């Protein structure tokens, strides 16, 4: 499973990109996006996805 960033909720702060251990998040076309091929939702590494844990906006990062 992978996560996605809801463009209309994203404040483009960049906190998610720097916290992703899989480098699955990148800045494209004015917003951040998650590469589903790289996203593991941090399973086996952390108790919860690090992008979600560090995002300051509720409902910005959701299941794809």
Segments of the chain scoring below 50 in pLDDT: none
Q: What is the pLDDT of residue 53?
A: 97
Tokens of 9: 């909720």
Say which CATH number the domain at 37 has.
3.30.70.20
| Interval 28-41: pLDDT, tens | 999 999 999 999 99
* Location of structure tokens 């941090």: 42
Q: Quote the pLDDT of residue 50.
A: 98
Determine if the pTM surpasses 0.85.
yes
Range of the domain at 18: 3-63
The number of distinct structural domains making up the chain is 1
Q: What is the pLDDT of residue 1?
A: 81
């Amino acid at each position: 499973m992978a996560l996605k960033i809801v463009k209309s909720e994203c404040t483009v702060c960049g906190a998610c990109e720097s916290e992703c251990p899989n480098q699955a998040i990148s800045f494209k076309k004015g917003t951040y996006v998650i590469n589903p091929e790289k996203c593991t939702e941090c399973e086996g590494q952390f108790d919860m996805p690090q992008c979600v844990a560090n995002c300051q906006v509720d409902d910005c990062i959701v299941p794809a």
